[in-house]
């Protein structure tokens, strides 16, 4: 079961990361919120808690429209 969950995560994460990168670059708060939420949930499911916390921060930025720190947070997220 763990292998299946990890495989699904690895298959879908690049798409979500790409969406986040584009959304941050374009200031698309709706997509930032949605992609970060999806990645947060799946990251939490596999135990990547630091990654999930960074996604939570991006999700809140998207929700509130305050994206000044989004690029820096995304950079940290990509490092994870």
Report the pLDDT value the prediction gives residue 50, as an integer from 0 to 100: 97
**Alpha-carbon span 70 to 1, nearest angstrom:** 34
**Alpha-carbon span 74 to 3, nearest angstrom:** 27
**Which domains does the chain carry?**
2-79 (1.20.120.160)
**Alpha-carbon span 26 to 21, nearest angstrom:** 9
- Up-side HSE of residue 66: CA atoms within 13 Å toward CB? 4
Dump pLDDT digits (tens) for 8-55.
999 999 999 999 999 999 999 999 999 999 999 999 999 999 999 999
Task: Please give the model's pTM, rounded to 2 decimal places.
Answer: 0.92
**Alpha-carbon span 49 to 30, nearest angstrom:** 23
């Amino acid at each position: 079961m763990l292998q299946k969950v990890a495989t699904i995560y690895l298959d879908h994460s690049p798409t979500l990361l790409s969406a986040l990168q584009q959304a941050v670059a374009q200031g698309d708060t709706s997509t930032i919120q949605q992609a970060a939420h999806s990645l947060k949930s799946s990251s939490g499911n596999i135990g990547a808690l630091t990654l999930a916390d960074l996604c939570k921060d991006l999700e809140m930025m998207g929700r509130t429209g305050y994206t000044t720190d989004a690029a820096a947070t995304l950079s940290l997220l990509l490092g994870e």
